[in-house]
Chains A and B, each alone.
Chain A
């Protein structure tokens, strides 16, 4: 092994002149994690509210996407690791002050629980389905009996997962664009919105869709509010934060952020959803796709732009 003496981060081309460590894997993972959190949150919420009959797609069918999204997302995270074979060491410790530790443990819990949740609805999707082992059949009965408890666990874990995708960035106190506590709620709300978009797209029931659509409009409103305050906070802060905000207010990310995230990813689908609620015929795929693509681009931009912002010059 080659021994290196590191006396300053400024000798490291991965850190200086700007952070150049996180590539496509991270935003993809943040997007899929947020999407999974969003779908599971509403599945759990409507189960707890006892509305699984009225909202079948939300509670039963959309969660089928979750294990897939989480597996792909974790696969992307794994690809990002430098020492891939050491990933298990995350599970040798619990560190409450580390967002990565929170995330690792949350994923360790939520991934199998989401698979169990989905598995308990397999028989409703495929009536002839038989589990291969008797113990699986009895385990299924147990899960169905305690579904409410499972829903509560998923509800809490989904919120932690959604917030953590933002906190993961905001815990980097050396990157002014990330180091703001708004990022946690912002990523949570954006994740909930993408989760709703995916569910809405799958749903065939107009009443379920219009209920989801109304919630989504509120979420889009909250997202715009949080983004406004994100920038107001930056602009009212010190020079490095103002400079970070300038990347979006005239700098290199201005067009991509305002066009793809704000206009095409939030305002355009919001207008379409309002039209749909007013009785116009709108193919659900269009607003749903716009929200999903907007959410994906939002994470790419935040990860990319955050790495450029810095304190040291």
Chain B
């Protein structure tokens, strides 16, 4: 079941972990009545930060104002707590399998700095795109497909299709 990678660290078989992730999604639907998400937590954090700096700007903006209300704090959101749980769980799993180390994983041909800059730019693009498309791989694609939503399948194809097409241009970051 376990794959030994080059570094000698034990990873779970990807098919098994995919199946487990599906069960997590099922449990989330059962417990919370909604699916998983990741970009939503980042969005809530951004909204909170913008609101803290300038409440008037946040409430006049067409985008931010949707998430601000007087009786609900934008951070008081299931996805924020879910992401905190993901962090804690990832930490536990890393500890159990002896992978807790401070390191930047990158191709030997690039520096950590390049890798971090590339990751940041990719993250910015993905964050922007996920808000245009109303959700990311978890919230729109994974959770959407789980309830057989057409938008979920389209999102999944769009995200991974674009990923395959774009990969060729940034291949030097990895190979």
Contacts and interface: CB of A to CB of B under 8 A. Distances in A.
Interface of A: 255, 259, 263-264, 268, 271-272, 275, 280-283, 286
Contacts of B88: 263-264, 268
Contact of A275 (B76, B81, B96): B96
Interface residues of B, number: 10
Contacts of B96: 275, 280
A271 B81 contact: no
B151 interface: no
B98 interface: yes
Given A272-B92, A286-B91, A264 B98 contact: no
17 contacts: A255-B76, A255-B81, A259-B81, A259-B84, A264-B84, A268-B92, A272-B92, A272-B95, A275-B92, A275-B95, A275-B96, A280-B95, A280-B98, A282-B95, A282-B100, A283-B100, A286-B91
Nearest to A275: B95
Interface string B80-101: 0100100010011001101010
A219 B92 CA distance: 21
Interface string B130-157: 0000000000000000000000000000
Nearest to A259: B81
Given A281-B95, A282-B95, 18 more contacts: A255-B76, A255-B81, A263-B88, A264-B84, A268-B88, A268-B92, A271-B92, A272-B91, A272-B92, A272-B95, A275-B95, A275-B96, A280-B95, A280-B96, A281-B98, A281-B100, A283-B100, A286-B91
SS class of chain A's interface: helix, strand, loop or mixed?
Answer: helix
Nearest to B76: A255
Contacts of B100: 281-283
Nearest to B81: A259
Contacts of A268: 88, 92
Main SS class of interface, B: helix
A275 B76 CA distance: 31
B102 to A, nearest CB: 8
B76, B92, B95, B98 pick with most chain A CB within 10 angstroms: B95
Contacts of A255: 76, 81
Nearest to B88: A268
Nearest to B99: A281
B114 to A, nearest CB: 26
A207 B91 CA distance: 23
A213 to B, nearest CB: 14
A259 B92 CA distance: 16
- In the A-B complex, the 7 residue pairs with the smallest Cβ-Cβ separation, listed nearest first, are A280-B95, A282-B95, A268-B88, A275-B95, A259-B81, A281-B100, A281-B98
A35 B20 CA distance: 41
Interface in B49-78: 76
Contacts of A283: 100
Contacts of B95: 272, 275, 280-282
Nearest to B87: A264
A121 to B, nearest CB: 31
A283 B91 CA distance: 10
A280 B76 CA distance: 34
Nearest to A272: B95
A272 B96 CA distance: 10
Contacts of B98: 280-281
B152 to A, nearest CB: 28
Nearest to A260: B84
Contacts of A263: 88
Contacts of B76: 255
Contacts of A282: 95, 100
Contacts of A259: 81, 84
B108 to A, nearest CB: 25
Contacts of A286: 91
A206 to B, nearest CB: 16
A173 B92 CA distance: 42
Nearest to B98: A281
Contacts of B91: 272, 286
A259 B87 CA distance: 13
A12 to B, nearest CB: 25
A272 B91 CA distance: 9
A1 B98 CA distance: 68
